[in-house]
Amino acid sequence: MGKKHIIKKSEEELPEKGKVREGELKKDPQIAATSKRIEEGRVYINSSYNNTIITLTDKQGNSLGWVSSGGIGFRGTKKATPFAASKVAENVSLIAQKLGIKKMSIWVKGIGSGRESAIRSFAARGFEIISIKDETPIPHNGCRSPKRRRV
């Protein structure tokens, strides 16, 4: 193989320090949202047997940020523990504080063990909780049971 040719840019082509050309930075939704102050938001807590996912939205339901216990670094059965859910709630509350959210309504879905600890963590962080609504789906009649075994 031959030598690799390295093309050096001249000083005119290099961007100046502090100046960024248009379209060079990726638009981060959390950074973009910091420019507008949001007073009130919604928090959706989805707690299953295997994981806890918390999503922060504005009043209309537009997502501002989300964190899951698997994304933080918990693995296996530790993802569904109340401790992991409280750590997830702490990370979401940091995002909410950056955005300037002071009041929040909480919507809980699922039957995992992290539901209550996540709500307590938000209350301990100093947010004003307007309402807590449980949206856990409940089967009214359920699936058809399997045929009875004949021996």
Per the confidence metrics, is the pTM higher than 0.75?
no
Using an 8 Å Cβ cutoff, are 56 and 41 in contact? yes
What percent of the chain has pLDDT above 90?
66
Q: Residue 35's pLDDT is what?
A: 53
Residue 90, number of CB atoms within 10 A of its CB: 16
pLDDT digits (tens, 9 = 90+) for 40-66: 999 999 999 999 999 999 999 999 999
Q: Residue 72's pLDDT is what?
A: 93
DSSP state of 95: H
Question: Under CATH, to which class is 37-134 assigned?
Answer: alpha beta
Using an 8 Å Cβ cutoff, are 64 and 46 in contact? no
The domain spans of the chain are 37-134
**Residue 131 has which token pair?**
């309402």
Using an 8 Å Cβ cutoff, are 80 and 51 in contact? yes
For tokens 């989300």, name the residue: 66
